[in-house]
Structure 1
Amino acid sequence: MSSSAIPAPRRADAPPSAAGISATGLRKSYGEKTVLDGIDLSVPAGTVFALLGPNGAGKTTAVKILSTLISADGGQARVAGHDPAAEPQAVRAAIGVTGQFSAVDGLITGEENMLLMADLNHLPKREGRRVAAELLERFDLTDAAKKPASTYSGGMKRRLDIAMTLVGDPRIIFLDEPTTGLDPRARHNMWQIIRGLVSGGVTVFLTTQYLEEADQLADSIAVLNNGKIAAQGTADELKRLIPGGHVRLRFSDPAAYRNAASALREAARDDEALALQLPSDGSQRELRSILDWLDSAGVEADELTVHTPDLDDVFFALTGAGKTQEIAR
């Protein structure tokens, strides 16, 4: 995608950046099932916040409450400085919501989709056309603007979807799994767009299926499990919560493997793969110590790999949902 697809800074006549998002003791139940059990969230303005969790954890419910689609049973929330329950119109004026399923109408053109959103945002005709043209250019959709949206690729539809969300110049955007179903190139393009939004002062509340996505984009992450926040912090802070870092040594010579295994009795053995696994935090000091020992013992490993806990490990440890690259919604 060309550089023109990266959103530019907000318009000079836009309102000043408002506060971010916060929630304290947020609760929601459906019948006897408690979906949110007193969660606390804090999202500073101009940052990306990622909410992760297994299927049924309550992520979508939290988004719906914060975006005024449903009401909470208890607790307090502030979005752009307003209470979603008491001031829903003020919150709606400050936010944009892009759901998991595209809001794009495939029967009309990309430009017509944009102009429809301009009408819904009560922009004057001339202003609506100006904003639509600006956004289509910024999201690299000008050449396709006159074509039916049904002819767009998945990545183009997702870009149009977010462009439509930006027509009202929201300062806070909720993105519900924005890259689901996109190929790797389109996904990386979408990441570039999200980074561009944040550099322009927009606050992004993101739910995602992809752990790598949260790791790449989020300033802070919360893991929601059984209606509660299991952990919250930066990606690095969450990774430090989880033990399991190790160094793996693989040998092609069985004799060298046996010698190393005899000397490194604390190492876990994999006799079939001729590999040893040593607990390690992956620090330079530990790696140097292992390499010095191999050198002094005259043992040569064919491969040395370092594993430090990643968000996969964090998610598995906090939710017990099974290690996987994708998180169920």
Structure 2
Amino acid sequence: MTLSPLNKTQSDQLLEAIMGVVPSPSAELIYHKSGGNPFYLEEILRELERQQKIYWNGKEWVFADNLEVIIPSSIEETIKRKLKFLEPEIKRYLEIAAVFGQEFEAETIARAGKRNVGQILDAIDELRRLGFIKESMPDIFFFSEDIVRQIVYKNILKSDLMQYHKAVGEMIEIIYRDVIANYLEQLATHFTIANDSLKALHYSKKAALKAKDNYAHTIAVKFFENALKYEDDIEEIFKIKFSLAEIYFLTGDYKKAKQQLNICLKINPNSHKVCEKLGNVYENMGDYKNSLKCYQTGLKMTQG
């Protein structure tokens, strides 16, 4: 007999029965990771207690701030045993799906796996029977629990992982070419893991600039820094460093802003915009002497 997973309300009720009142963000995270599987839910709670992410204070259970769920070994071993029974080709499709994400279409796996959709659907039927994935609507599927996808991904051989990320990245370029701007972060990540330096650089810069324009500063910094790993054009390095300085300035991290701007000056000692930005930094820091000095230096540069 196969038991259906708990829905969010049922999951919350089970959590409350075990733990009492659970903070809403923690309950949401545990439900998302467990997928409503009661066994996974209880094992996650045991692991959180073991890691002292939750503890009993004598009156109630206390949950750590910014709770993160680390995969319990009991769940990982259960999933790994199930993976051993998969045929190699079916396992390959499952691994490609894990690389793509929590939800995927049959066509995306077919494209990345260089197979026809019919072959993929046959494999998906088996994966559904074994409880790895479920169908949300015709030809659109999702991993039964996010923790399952994480375990599948974690156990992919490194050589296969690089190939899968490259294949998924190339598939996204083809299928979603008309809306490619929506996939810049994913493409940068896929081609970085695939060790495709040219595409990793290209999409990292695009993802960073898009994030910067949307004031998603943390994401922008992440992808600018990733781009620097591959960029060897000194003028492009200057642009990236200056963009990083602008972000650090906006977020109030003046120390890092100064560091990036000083690197920019080493690349181009005659850049008036760097001097002007340094003046802004010093001014916001309350160092008006150095601020004035930078402004004057920049002004002289513009006057020749």
TM range (shorter): under 0.3
With structure 1 as the length reference, what TM-score do the two structures score? 0.24
With structure 2 as the length reference, what TM-score do the two structures score? 0.25
Instruction: Select the structure that is richer in helix.
Output: 2
